[in-house]
Structure 1
């Protein structure tokens, strides 16, 4: 544990490091649960940082970052992704959320979980070191009903280069919940190295078409014959030009994945040889290719984060689910326990 800087109100923040003997080192701050760095070996055995972020707290609190709000490495809630016009109805009661992505509400509102200070508890198990982050979200916070108790545990496995994220929550009153992590990956991160040559595979037969404000139409459309078909691996840049604005879409994962973590995506970077396999029990994977990064943010090692500097693979429920009866429910009621597991499994390919 190390000091990470002081918030404008004088509150001190902390940075935590979790690592194994295989070359994986993860750093996380209790401010917003941001993953600030993640080092894994390349095919030559040389460790390198594979996520976008900053070395100091001011990177996450400066006006440029807050204006563009790319959510580098953050824990997202109470509701990840978008809710149309910030409105939903639960048990006959209408609720209005902040409109922070006009005309919609995005990633929990103006002061979502990404901008909250979490209580951090380092620990260890037989599988490896852990960092438990706890947060109590008050009834009415950002317009959401019901007091919510959330815990997210980051764990680095000792026996494999794997980061495990375990989400759990319970509510004192009925509410809606969609938790995720917004880490941007670049398996060959460096000046001028974008993610368009990364090869992606996602075993999803369907995706969610969206309107011009990125809200799902309600259709679960086939990926066949579309640029959203990643059932065979191909470079992210190969069909990006066919998607107006770039990829920022939810891919529908198999029903079986909800029974336990299963493969949701594999990512391969040919130059470094690094691979990433994402496993989850969530029904959706939001693919975002950093389309709105402008080059105004300068991160670690002086790297300018321009368009497509990283990609997010957000394991989550569907966008705008509270307004779509046909989508998997995101309602959490008193007496229920929400639990979800996502793993990032890193490796290398020799070819």
Structure 2
């Protein structure tokens, strides 16, 4: 199937999917309001087979050390699939299924599947990573760039994490869990009951980002956008909290954005 941009519609919601641009969601419009920052590197991209930074781009699988390209020196960041072209497995008016076959520099063959499903008041993103023959550690996450402003007032971000990962000078978690601090943030938070973050654009729209996963990075240091990133582990998690994908056991995760007009 063609990898050109796909438009999904449901009610007054419209979502664009860009298979050829890293499998990202390029836009989410609700009643004409565009929720995502526009641009080739923005929207919402899948982070896989790892999320955030890997320290020095290196991680272990058993005794072997693997080196990823340092695309955020001195670290590697956000996986390999956001720079590739995904294939369209199937599509309908309100759903698209994309696949991406893992290739170098990732050392192991495998397949990523992402389902983008739209309803009139929600968008659900589901992703799975399968190993073909050899097992490997992996992470899944999403990196949405929500517009900071949809009118004349900035978005308000509300969440109640159980802890914040202490961030070192290298922007990576130190391994210490601390009491959550006020922003601005480029920080990872733990929510054992599942990710639950509410973004409110006063007088415009309320959006809830939820996921069964217990980790989220919140990034609000840019003027134009705010990021709420559900993921299956913390930054540098391939080293500190590896989740093994085996030929019998894929890694799967889901996030849902649900909205209400105000």
Q: State the TM-score, normalizing by the size of structure 2.
A: 0.91
| Higher Rg | 1
TM-fit CA distance, 1:145: 2.8
Q: Residue 174 of structure 2: SS of its match in structure 1?
A: coil
The residue number in structure 1 matching 2:236 is 320
CA distance in 2, matches of 1:202, 1:249: 13
Q: Residue 14 of structure 1: SS of its match in structure 2?
A: coil
Superposition pairs of residues 229-268 of structure 1, within 5 angstroms: 239-240=183-184, 247-254=185-192, 256-257=193-194, 264-268=196-200
CA distance in 1, matches of 2:24, 2:251: 21
Confirm or deny that 1:102 pairs with 2:92.
no
TM-fit CA distance, 1:187: 6.5
Q: Deviations over 1:196-248 (max 9, x none)?
A: x322111212011111121110112222xx21xxxxxxxxxxx43xxxxxx11
TM-fit CA distance, 1:13: 4.5
Superposition pairs of residues 1-351 of structure 1, within 5 angstroms: 13-21=3-11, 23-31=12-20, 32-41=22-31, 47-54=32-39, 60=40, 71-108=42-79, 112-124=80-92, 129-138=94-103, 141-142=104-105, 144-157=106-119, 160-172=120-132, 173-186=134-147, 188-189=149-150, 197-223=154-180, 226-227=181-182, 239-240=183-184, 247-254=185-192, 256-257=193-194, 264-272=196-204, 274-289=205-220, 291=221, 307-316=222-231, 317-324=233-240, 327=241, 329-349=242-262
TM-fit CA distance, 1:92: 1.2
Gaps spanning 5+ residues in structure 1: where? 2-11, 42-46, 55-59, 61-69, 228-238, 241-246, 258-262, 292-306
CA distance in 2, matches of 1:180, 1:122: 22
Q: Residue 166 of structure 2: SS of its match in structure 1?
A: coil
| Structure with more of its chain in helix, by fraction | 1
Alignment check: 8 A CA contact 1:287 1:313 kept: yes
CA distance in 2, matches of 1:166, 1:347: 21
TM-fit CA distance, 1:188: 3.9
Q: Deviations over 1:323-348 (max 9, x none)?
A: 22xx4x32212211222111000112
Q: Deviations over 1:282-333 (max 9, x none)?
A: 12111011x3xxxxxxxxxxxxxxx321111111021111222xx4x32212
Alignment check: 8 A CA contact 1:185 1:311 kept: yes
The residue number in structure 2 matching 1:296 is none
CA distance in 2, matches of 1:137, 1:119: 12
CA distance in 1, matches of 2:150, 2:201: 10
Q: Residue 208 of structure 1: SS of its match in structure 2?
A: strand
Alignment check: 8 A CA contact 2:50 2:238 kept: no
Alignment check: 8 A CA contact 1:28 1:37 kept: yes
